[in-house]
Amino acid sequence: MTNYNELNLISESYFNSDKYEITILSNASALLNQYLEDVSWVGFYLFKDNQLILGPFQGLVACTQIPVGKGVCGKCALEQKAQIVPNVHEFEGHIACDSRSNSEIVLPIFVHNKFYGELDIDSTSFNRFNEEDKKNLEIFINNLSQDLERIL
């Protein structure tokens, strides 16, 4: 079971001395990959030019651009709210960057009250993510957003 208390305690102060966006996001994806159990991909999609573009991640090669409204990430961008998908194969319009992926959670990130991008996490297991994961990952994202707001 993921130790979210430890993960979020670390994330409260881990990035506050970094001054580069790419450094913060790269280490954030590595930290999540280190702490989260049963995940196959952890990373960020950033909102640029009215689409999502691939940011720092841990995992296999990924889709580089995702239109708003397409797939789980695109739906998150369109609605700007978290998406928990127990079985991605049942999600209409799912974009299969990795055919081994079976479940997914995507959470929006806001910086200075503007949609900045998303945290995307995949698992090869079905039903991997739940409301408890969402709640704790929102804490992580809040800590991350504060660090990004400091430098952006």
List, for residues 108-132, the tens digit of each pLDDT value. Answer: 999 999 999 999 999 999 999 999 9
HSE-CB at 113 with a 13 A cutoff on CA atoms is 0
Query: Residue 4 — pLDDT band, cuts 50, 70, 90?
Result: very high
Q: Out of 95-104, 107-116, 135-144, which region has the weakest mean confidence (pLDDT)?
A: 95-104
- Quick check: 96 and 119 in contact, CB under 8 A? no
Tell me which H or E stretch contains 26.
Answer: helix 21-35
- Say whether pLDDT at 16 is over 90: no
pTM (predicted TM-score): 0.96
- Say whether pLDDT at 2 is over 90: no
Q: Given this model, what pLDDT does residue 136 score?
A: 97
CA gyration radius for the chain? 14
- Quick check: 97 and 121 in contact, CB under 8 A? no
Query: Residue 99 — pLDDT band, cuts 50, 70, 90?
Result: confident
Task: Give exposure, 83-102, as e/b (b: 16+ Cβ within 10 Å).
Answer: bbbbebeebeebeebbeebb
Whole-angstrom distance, CA of residue 64 vs CA of residue 79 = 21
Whole-angstrom distance, CA of residue 40 vs CA of residue 19 = 28
- Quick check: 108 and 82 in contact, CB under 8 A? yes
Which residues, in sequence order, are bridge partners of residue 59?
A: 41
- Between the alpha carbon of residue 47 and those of residues 65, 73, 115, 119, 133, the distances in Å are 10, 11, 7, 11, 23
- Say whether pLDDT at 1 is over 90: no
Q: At the topology level of CATH, where does 4-10+17-151 sit?
A: Beta-Lactamase (3.30.450)
